[in-house]
Structure formats: structure tokens, C-alpha cells
Structure 1
Amino acid sequence: MKNNSDNFKPIDFGNKIEKNGRNLFKKMKKKISFQGYNDILKSVNLFIYGILDKDDLLLLIEQILEFEEELKFFKKFSELLIEINNPDQNEYQNKTSIMNIENQESSGKSYKALPYSLTNKKCSARTDLEKSVLNDRWISFPRGSEVNSVGENQRSDESSDESSDDIEDEMHRNDVEIELNNRLFREIWSICKNIDSFNNDQLFEFLERLFSDRFHVLALTNIYNKKIEEVKSLLTEDPKQTLLIIYERLKLVDLEVKKNQAQIFQSRQLK
């Protein structure tokens, strides 16, 4: 079986932090279970791509490193995150400069000046007029030939980029909500399809398991918002009826989210 660690891309915030991160993951790989190590890699990748924030990441890692001998790794992992959030300023600036020069396309449309420490190659074939007009210090130039159109074009580009980002964010939120709803749907359906065959003790055991899963709690919170505590009380008082109501409500919410996702996708295709 191929280890997911082959695809892992360490967070690039400087040589020192990268080296510390590699060493920590090598030690964890030797000490913890194969499944635990791969779960950590998945969590870190979600953090790298901005899906998880630092607090969520630490919570997931703490749950994976549950044994006493593994807690030292959790402490070191927390310290590494602090280093990542506060990298050495000089080292970080150097990395940023290299990125702007060598990987301009990955930075998107920008009007960033090149570092003054960079020596540009002189072009002897330029006329005096070209020398007075051309600007060697910028990575990219505004589109449009008229001077008066530069500001308008820039604002239009920025507005278009922001609109595209908003659509991507909403589609991502919908994807996450659909996945959470599906997980909860499968869990509740496993009970609801034969709910009359379960006694109260079995139902309470199921509810305890349900609310111990933070993803199921998150899905219920998304559906019922501030009324989540009322839902918990109703589940305690009348678990059978309340589970059936949640099941039907979950189907409606999931349908609404998928319909919204389809509309967003369709409008995006038309643009």
C-alpha cells in the first residue's frame, strides 16, 4: 500500500521551520499507527489549503494522538504551528521576493514592484523614448492603452476576481454542508428504517454516539442553529418521534443545498 506521505507538501515558511517539520513527521511516522499518521497528513493538508483553521487542526491532531506516549508529539506540533504563524521576518521576506520573481503566474494578477536588490539586464536596443516610457520595476502591467482607462480596468478586474472568489467560497461551503448532511443522513437512516424495533436504552445509546461525533453535531447546528439545545432536549424526551422529524428535515435541507449548488454552477457556466 502506498503511503500518503509521498504526496505530502510541507508548509514552506523558511528552511528552519521546514526542517523542524520534516523531522517531527519522521519521528511521528515511526512511533504512531499507520492509520493515525495518515489521518494527521490529511488534517495538515486541509490546514495548508485553508479548509481548517489552527484551532480545528489542533483539535483533530489531539484526538488522533490520544495515548500518553504520543502527547509529546502533540506538544511539538503545537510549537511548530506557533513558528509557522510567526516566521522569521527576514527569511519570510526573502521567500516572498523569490516567489514574486520566479513564480509570477501563481501570484495572480498583480502590480507588485520587483525588489530593488534585483539588478535588471540592460537593453541597449531601446530608444530614448522607450527608455522614458518603459518601467522595469513592475512584474505586470495594467491592461488598456488609454491612461484614463487604467483605474477603471483595474477596478473591473478586482471586482471580477472578488465575484469569482465569492462563488468559489459558496460552492465550497455547499460541498462541505452536503458532505456533513450525507454523513448524518446515513447515521440516522440506519436507525429510522427499523426504529420500532429499538427500545429506549438502545436509542439513548445511539444518541450518545451521535452527539460524540463533532461532525454530526456541526451538521445539526447548521440545520437548527440556535435551537440545537431544544433539539437535544426533545431527543431525550421523545427520541423516536424527534429522530423521524430530524430525518425528514434533513432531506429537505439537503435538497435545498443541492438545488442552490446546481444554480450556482449553472450561472457560473453562463459567465
Structure 2
Amino acid sequence: MMNPVLRREAVTTMRNWKTYGALLIFLAITSVGAAFYVYASMFQNYLYNTDPAAMVWLYVVLAGVQMGLVMLATPAIAAGSISGERERQTLDLLLVTKMTPLSIVWGKMMSSLIYVLLLVVATVPVFGVAFYYGSISLGSILLMLLFILVMSLALSAVSVFLSCIFRKTVISIVLMYLIIGVLCFGTLILLAFYALFAGRSGQIDMSLWISVLILLPNPGAAFFSLMDMQMGSGIVHGLLNMAYYHDGNLVYWLAEHLWMAHMAASLAVTALFVWLSARMIDPVREKRRRKS
């Protein structure tokens, strides 16, 4: 049986014209960007044709734009899921139904993820331009889309948790954007300070462990690692001192596959914050806390 909250949110979302307006803007940005890139690349050679090697960079640019748009759209969709019910004074009606708090949170989170999935799937034909010229494989495109969806799942879980804590949707959205900013830019600043003051003490494994742990929650760094792997450019290999590579060492494997570690951490974060959100809105727990 389909989750009632998910079914209701899906029906109301698909009946809203704002849904298709946002989808139109999302597709317009990616489509116009791809068309402009293809048109500009045709004038880089005297034959006025497209270079398959240039289409690889089209794939990278489109993937980066899509990830940025998804990171901006996910908090706006999910951060008002529970606080919006409080503002409409309908949360108590949900809690007195036969649904458990966990199913309510799960339904709210999946409803936001389905809309993100709609945005991602709608842009697949645009990525088909790079696939058509043979510069990228279908498996690489699907892997990139899977990475974005897993990242969006973690952002949705954290957004729903903030929505359970704060009663105002605006506060949840702003705080979620601040968290994303800290993850994307704060970790890079922290890594720069670590590289500046730590120096080279000869403990290469330890410094690389710290670098990997700092960059692990950064979705931008993980996305860069995935693009570097698919492009075969080897930039991560140079940035993380891969010259000291040793077979069988876990830290070097994590440094080369940061995107895989980030996806595993995102799934763990999703499970943790879904559980915390369910506890936050549990009426039985709230009643016990008031009695104590």
C-alpha cells in the first residue's frame, strides 16, 4: 500500500501550476546552456562541426549545473514539510491517524525526493546530447544521476529534521542553506588552514586521513571526485598526494573514491535524521517529556 502522506503530497504537487513552472525553468536553464555550448564549440575549428572531446566538457558542465540546482531546490521543497503542517494546524490531525511518526516523516521526505527525481529525469534528454556524440557512456550518466539523488536524499532528511525543530518554514530553509554553505565552502577553508599550518611532518598517511575526513561531508568535493574518475583526468590523484600511493591502504582508496564514501555517509545520515525526525514529532514521547 502506498504511503498516504506520499500519495496526498504527490497528487497536490502535480495539480499545482508552480510545479510545472519550476520544471520549465529548470529545463530551460539546462537546455539553453547546452545549446549555447554546442553552438560555441562549432566555431572552434575551421570545419564548423562538433568535437566529441568537447562534448565531454558539456557533460561535466551540465552535471555541475544540475547538481547546483538540485542543492538549491531540495531545501526549499523539504524544509517546510513538517513546519508547514504546523502553520496550517494540520500536524495534530496527522498524528491522531493510524500512521506512525516514522511513516509520516518518510512520506514527507519521499514526496520531496519524488519532485527532485522528476527534475532529474526530465533533464536526461539534454544529457543525451553528450551521449549521442559518443563522448560519454550511458552508465556514467546513470551513475552521476544516482549520486545526485543520494545527495538529495540526505539533504531532504536533514531539511525535514530542521522542519521538525522550528515552527517557521523560513527559518528551516535559511538554516539549511547555511548548512550547505558550510559543507561546500567551510570544509574547503578548514582544509586550506590545515594545509597551511600543518605542513609536512612526514606522517603522510595521517595528513591524508585528516584531509579525507574534512572533505568527506563536502558534496562538491565528492562530485568533483566522481567527475575526475569519469573523465580520467587524475586531478584528485595529484591534489591528495597520490604520489605516495600504496596498494591495499584504505586511506588512499578513500581518497581516490571520495564520491563512494560520500554516498555511503549520505545514506547513513539519511537513516539517522529520519529516525530523529520521527522521535521529534512522536506525541507519546512529547507527552512523557512534559510529565517529567
What is the TM-score of this pair, normalised by structure 2?
0.26
Which structure carries more relative contact order (alpha carbon 8 Å, separation 6+)? 2
What is the TM-score of this pair, normalised by structure 1?
0.27
Structure ranking higher in helix proportion: 2
- Greater Cα radius of gyration, structure 1 or 2: 1
